[in-house]
Amino acid sequence: MTQSVAAFERAGSFQLAGAAEAEALVFSQPLSFWGGIDAETGEIIDHSHPGRGQNIAGKILVMPSGRGSSSSSSVLAETIRRSTAPAGILLERPDPILAVGAIVAEFLYDIHMPLVVCDIAGIVSGERIAIGIREDGGASVRRI
């Protein structure tokens, strides 16, 4: 994995493969989808989270990990169904709960919301990020 910010392209591994290009929304604190996201709108509703009031819909959500109850799988799948989900998610550590939500949504609705485990250092909110699929099947994460 490259650490270089100047030549901003890093490799990652997919928990769910797909391509996306959107604005980054970066949090240093994990966000629980269950109790933390309004599935109807994509708005962050967790009172204790610094992102409260912001909207994840259509963004590349970047955070260290997932958090909380297994019900987050259902909420992520429901946001993907309703098109209120992020365009993609970058995590530092793999998350079984979000992986299940993403893969269930792919199974049901054939929507591939990329879920990537990669180095998230240096990515800041507002910059445009592209997630692509490499020839070896791994993820490429680029700033554009």
Using CB under 8 A, list all residues that contact another protein.
15-16, 39, 69-75, 77-78, 80-81, 94-97, 99-101, 103-105, 107-109
- Structure-token match 């793999």, residue found: 94
Nearest distance in Å: CB 113, another protein: 13
Nearest distance in Å: CB 74, another protein: 5
Residue whose CB is less far from another protein, 54 or 69: 69
Nearest distance in Å: CB 29, another protein: 17
Residue whose CB is less far from another protein, 62 or 78: 78
Measured in whole angstroms, the distance separating CA 45 from the mean position of its chain's CA atoms is: 17
Residue whose CB is less far from another protein, 96 or 122: 96
Cβ density class 71-98: b for 16+ within 10 Å, e for less:
ebbbbbbbbbeeebbbbbbbbbeebebb
Residue whose CB is less far from another protein, 21 or 92: 92
- Annotated catalytic residue within 4, 13, 65, 69: 69
**Residue 34: which residues within 8 A CB-CB, separation 6 or more?**
68, 69, 71, 72, 74, 75
d(CA 3, CA 119): 8
Nearest distance in Å: CB 71, another protein: 6
- Structure-token match 């591939």, residue found: 112
32 annotated active-site:
no
Written as six digits, the tokens of 113 are 């919301």
Q: Any idea which residues carry the catalytic annotation?
A: 69
